[in-house]
Amino acid sequence: AVLGTRAVPGVPMVLADDALTAIGRLARAVVDRLPQLTIVGVTGSSGKTTTKDMIGQLLARLGPTVAPPGTFNNELGLPHTVLMADERTRFLVAEMGARGGGHLTYLCGIAPPKIGVVINVGVAHIGEFGSQEAIAQAKGELVEALPEDGLAVLNVDDPLVAAMATRTKASVVGVGRSAESVVRAENVVLDEAGRAAYTLICPQGETAVTLRVAGEHQVGNTLAAAAVALHVGLPLTECGAALSALGAVSSRRMDVFDRADDVTVIDDSYNANPASTAAALRALAAMAAARPGGRRTVAVLGYHAELGDHERTGHEEVGRLAADLGVSLLIAVGENAAPIHDGATATAQWGGDSVVVSDQDAAVALLRERLRPGDVVLVKGSRYRTWQVADALRDQAEAVS
């Protein structure tokens, strides 16, 4: 049957005055019928989907787990996730997003979490919230919803997240790379593909982890996943092995592919905000630097949406970072992304080149002219069809292979 607000001839219907409210109530009714279910809520300004995927892969080693690929983190997507669970499901990993205060409280009312994970507080959607402090207030609604016998997993390397420890009745486990982290990473090194290896240290002991996913920022995501898995009973040695086996589940999130002409492409085009773009740029620089003789770096960056009054400064900061990291060629896609170019070109001593192009097609045409064998290319943007650039590069890879 179809849930809707009006009848459609010939279609079995469940009618409701408000379909979103109805599907939320339906999802909560399903949760109430599944007493064996442990719900893990995941929030943050960036990295939610990747961390959700990682937690899902680890918990699947302990029992049937629902953690669907992709992003289902709002008042429609969360019930969609919940309705995948049944009497056999042991764990449900729920990504939870917010566009304002009260949103996470509402989502937690649909799927009450036993474990809550807060990854970071950045400036994503700051145009809707007004300030980073308001974002932190909203993200903290997740830990406020946890029961006394629950667990809050907090990234203590982020002061705004660490401060949430006072807002929960649940036990708190800090994760990160600082000494006060209960679950932490030490001896972090990157290989030539930008993948991290580190020593995982926790109350259960320590174990070596070698990641298959690219980007040093993935270390923090895996620490959060490890804290959840260890808490629910995954042995440390198996946890280390599971972390080392993690693969990409949701597409266009640090997807790396190599072309036959020795060009490497990092497709991180699903979405973008200043913090996630900074992490991707650092991964780009590290990957190029780790390869023999070093490589040229090319960053194709699109518009970052929903920054409000921070729009110009946020884009300029991204451009300055690209220049500071020594990006060889910076391509800003669209006039809205021009402040990225402005930030880069205003950076003293930068020896790279920056170009503003009108759209994705122009970016692809420029890449065809300027790419050289051995280049490492990052494609990143807030949708706006930036993914078409990555797809064109992939199509070119197939053409030359």
In the chain, what are the domain boundaries?
A: 2-245, 255-396
Helix axes 360-370, 387-400, angle to 10 degrees: 40
| Token pair 């200043």: residue | 274
Q: DSSP 3-state assignment of 1?
A: coil
Return the CATH fold of 255-396.
Protein-Tyrosine Phosphatase; Chain A (3.90.190)
The domains spanning 2-245 and 255-396 adopt the same CATH topology = no
Tell me the DSSP string of 81-116.
HHTT--TT--EEEEE---SSTTHHHHHHHHS--SEE
Predicted pLDDT at 250: 82
Burial 226-256 (b: 16+ CB within 10 A, else e): bbbbbbbebebeebbebbeebebbbebbbbb
Phi-psi region of 53 (alpha: psi -120 to 50; beta: other; left: phi over 0): alpha
Residues 219 and 198: their CA atoms lie apart, in Å, by 8
Tell me the DSSP string of 342-376.
HHHHTSTT---EEEEESSHHHHHHHHHHH--TT-E
Predicted pLDDT at 393: 96
The answer to whether the beta carbons of residues 344 and 330 sit under 8 Å apart is yes
Q: What are phi and psi of 361, to 5 degrees?
A: -60, -40
| Token pair 């309705």: residue | 83
Greatest Cα pair distance, the chain, in angstroms, is 69
Task: Identify the sign of the CA torsion 199, 200, 206, 207.
Answer: negative
Predicted pLDDT at 294: 84
Which of these, 163, 230, 166, 221, lies nearest to 196 by C-alpha position? 221
Predicted pLDDT at 383: 62
Residues 9 and 30: their CA atoms lie apart, in Å, by 28
Tokens at residue 334, please? 């669209």
Kindly report the average pLDDT of the chain as a whole number. 95
The answer to whether the beta carbons of residues 170 and 149 sit under 8 Å apart is yes
pLDDT in tens, the chain (401 residues): 788 899 999 999 889 999 999 999 999 999 999 999 999 999 999 999 999 999 999 999 999 999 999 999 999 999 999 999 999 999 999 999 999 999 999 999 999 999 999 999 998 888 889 999 999 999 999 999 999 999 999 999 999 999 999 999 999 999 999 999 999 999 999 998 899 999 999 999 999 999 999 999 999 999 999 999 999 999 999 999 999 999 888 888 899 999 999 999 999 998 999 999 999 999 999 999 988 888 999 999 999 988 999 999 999 999 999 999 999 999 999 999 999 999 999 999 999 999 999 999 999 999 999 999 999 999 999 866 899 999 999 877 554 44
| Token pair 């300055």: residue | 320
Sequence-ordered strand ranges (E) for 203-348: 205-214, 255-258, 264-268, 297-301, 329-333
Query: What's the pLDDT tens digit per position in 366-399?
Result: 999 999 999 999 999 986 689 999 999 987 755 4
Work out the end-to-end distance of the chain between its first and last CA atoms, rounded to an integer number of angstroms: 47
Tokens at residue 376, please? 């490492």
Is 2-245 a domain of CATH 3.40.1190.10?
Answer: yes
Tell me the DSSP string of 113-127.
-SEEEE----STTHH
Predicted pLDDT at 397: 54
Give the single-character DSSP code of 251.
Answer: S
Q: DSSP 3-state assignment of 154?
A: strand
Predicted pLDDT at 268: 94
Query: CA-CA-CA-CA torsion for 160, 162, 163, 169, nearest 10 degrees?
Result: 130
Predicted pLDDT at 400: 44
Neighbour order of strands in the sheet with 171-176: 65-66, 91-95, 38-43, 115-118, 151-155, 171-176, 183-190, 195-202, 205-214
Query: What's the pLDDT tens digit per position in 353-362?
Result: 999 999 999 9
The answer to whether the beta carbons of residues 304 and 268 sit under 8 Å apart is no
